[in-house]
Amino acid sequence: MTVCVEWEKRAQSDRENIFLYLNREAGALVAIAADERLAGMAGILAENPLAGVKAGRSETQRKLVVPHFPFIIVYATENARVRILRVLHTSRKVAGQYSPS
């Protein structure tokens, strides 16, 4: 079963900032590879919304580690859709970062 995947504004902003940072610090090839990996992970969530592990106390929020890049995708599963809430660097303290607002 394929579900709809939506990127929340904060997640879109996270993704753009990651791309800009990697482009500046590591070059276009690394930035493009990371962005393609994030898009690929969204595709995995479309096919398997429960691919990640439970995040925090919420029953609907989950997190998915991005292989070979130091990021996690925080997302919520609701009915037949996945909402990507944030894309966070693994070194960040993430308590309270799961909220979409």
Q: What is the pTM of this model?
A: 0.86
CATH number for position 78: 3.30.2310.20
Which residue range(s) make up the domain with 65? 4-89
Q: Is residue 101 part of a domain?
A: no
| DSSP letter string, 36-69 | HHHHHHHHHHHH-TTSSEE-TT-SSEEEEEETTT
The predicted structure's pLDDT at residue 101: 46
Q: Is residue 100 part of a domain?
A: no
- What is the per-residue pLDDT across 61-97, written as a single tens digit (0 to 9) for each? 999 999 999 999 999 998 889 999 999 998 865 544 4
The tally of domains found in the chain comes to: 1
